[in-house]
Structure 1
Amino acid sequence: MVRIVHTNLRAYGFSPDDAGPDIEKTWALLSARAVDEVTGEPPRTQLAIETDEVEMFPRVADGGLIGLAGIPARAFPDLNAPGYDVTFTVRAAGYIPLTQTATIALNLGVIGAFAPTDIGALPLRRAPVVIKGRTVVAGGGPNVPAVGATVQVTGIWPTLPSAAAVVPAAAPNILYLRPGLYFNRDLVNDRVRRRELQRVLGEDKRLLAAVEAGTDTIELSDRVNVVVGSVLAIGAQDPERTEFVTVSAVGGATTADQPARITLAHPLARAHLRDELVIRVVPQAPGADNQLVRETIAGDRCVVLDGLADLAGVGAIEIAGGAALVEYHAIRLYTATSNADGYYRLPPINRAAQLELQADDGVHPNITQIIVPNYAAGEHIVDFVFRAP
């Protein structure tokens, strides 16, 4: 029952009834603080949080604060459960989307009670930046291109070092993956190792229909020698867009040379167009194991390892050992050779606050530069000018 009380020309609604239980009030069900993994500070771009949960509503505040709000009695119908697993995605311009699953705890000891769950800091990865530029030789006249010079990353600082101390760079044990990771990987059990993927000649196939990113079925022109466990290179006409995915089911006409529907072991990371080339590849003997040393999430294009054993000159790797499915990727190391005009371009890189770069033209003394990548620009120009000693 609500009474209306008039005072000082104002009307107030007043209910003498006891307050309702906590579970029937609006709460911050889940809260967190998004931070830049390099700086530890909140992103300077607009934040957003998304979830498919019907009775949970996104909330964003200053200082990187994000969360999901709602009425517990509606959001969690089964109040006897010890907790609810909620999957959400955090997005910010210039950062890789972060999808997490968190458990919102319920207070079973007190009937009708509720308290929010705070999961603390959520580090966001910057979108990779491309380091590129030109190598030239300075002489008595105009600069001339330093053709065939090697430019490579020789040191990495994951966070900015203190100006009051000398902090040595970490070894550049980092790989660039094409495409990014399909799954969150396990630091303890997962291993990265060389696994070249040999093309099977004479069995080229074509996509019969375009597919969107996130699709796990494709239509192929035929299923000749495609069986459960086969590995397909999808989009093989373009090495920058090729995906290597294992087959989990095969369906289609009674004869193998007719169109077929192929189910993949995991969804594709990229969209692919009709008529793109699909080939069967055979994994070759594995190389030495390398362990992940920094947390990885689905979508990461750069992985940091404890070493680069057996990875020099390698075209593809396998990541396996943990609970997630085996995945295959083309890779590049962070080294480049300048072309006839002296221009070079390193693979996109992130997860670094500071980089040490070195250029070597085989003639002049090596040049070393330390840079702070300009992630906001997407490209960072670094030129090297060789001079005679």
Structure 2
Amino acid sequence: MQHPIDEHTGARIADYRKLRHLTQEALAQRAFLSRSCIAKVEKGLAPATPAVVAAVARVLQVDVAVLNGQPYTSQLRQDHLDRLIAPLSDALDLYDLGPDPDITPRPLAWIEPEVRRLCENTCATEYSGVGERLPGLLGELTTALSLLPAGEERRKAAALLAWCYWTAYEFAYRLGYHLLASIALERMGWTAEQAQDPLLLAVRLGRRSSMLLRRGDNRMALRILDRAHHLVGQHEEPGSVPALAVAGSLHLAAAIAAAQAKDADTVTGRMELARRSADGIGQDVPEVYWAGFGGTNVHHFDVATRVELGRLGEAVQSAKDLRFPAGHPRMRVGRYHIEMARAYTEMGKAEAAQRSLHLARTIAPQQARYHPLVRETIGALVRRRRRATESLSSLAAWVGL
């Protein structure tokens, strides 16, 4: 079932604003936004960006997912993804129940390649394949971990299980099941502790900061990221490629948090630290701790932070020199084109925005289909035109508008 074009995040913001007896001016003041921004978002003429949604959600005392209308159940049913949620939820509850008598775990050497493929599929935003294989692997590794004595094999099993929880977080979060994603993240912390891997714990804190950023809690997100850097410093080789990749990714996450808080000085500082990490590695390392870090990512986030700061012209200029190498994580490339579509829409460049949206759909279709900003951007483009083009109408129908 498709949703009417006027059922969008801005309309839901307006509904909750009226329920809270607030004017647009009052909401804007409390959310530290301009009244014109609130007015355009409520009318659906400007995309409801993550930073705007987080700011007004805090004032309106409502969850971000409610304002975004997530999860998108109609699209989940069409893609047969809705049936994967319950098995995943059940598998996440197994962590403290001990070994399952009906499961005989395979050797870890056999399981490890499957976990690696799961992480690869996650970075490629292939949610169907991830959701189908994940519950079984969670059950098998939970039993394996319960049966193994203390030692290297048990730590290895814990690390593999932690990465499965990481994929569970990504799967649930991207599809709009944020409570389930939070549970997966807690389980990841539990197993990362048993793996005794400070970099794995730091990666987990990086995702935790993303959850806080989604709620608009920039200050706490930065505190979490500082704690993650402390863990990187505990690694036995803090100057190694894995440590530099994780540290660099954390600096980029902090730059985005600072950009959403409109703190340009902190953005500059964090981006410089990320560049130093990239220079220390000397090349892109897309699969080291699945951080996907290197000079390409630093350039990408240079564009992204400029978009968040409202420096759209600078972002477009910087983007002209950005080239993604073959094999770069599709999750990152798709995200870049989504960000550019937003920037072009805010600049009034509808054709460029549509090109970016089509690229996002081509490169990472399931990511684009379930990304709130894609829906908001398409909706804003439709409402700004007297008559939508066939291409734009096709995009709107695809995301369920």
Shared fold, TM over 0.5: no
Normalising by structure 1, we get a TM-score of 0.26
Instruction: Please identify the structure whose Cα radius of gyration is greater.
Output: 1
Q: Using CA pairs below 8 Å that are at least 6 residues apart, which structure has the higher relative contact order?
A: 1
TM-score under structure 2 length normalisation: 0.25
**Structure holding more helix per residue:** 2
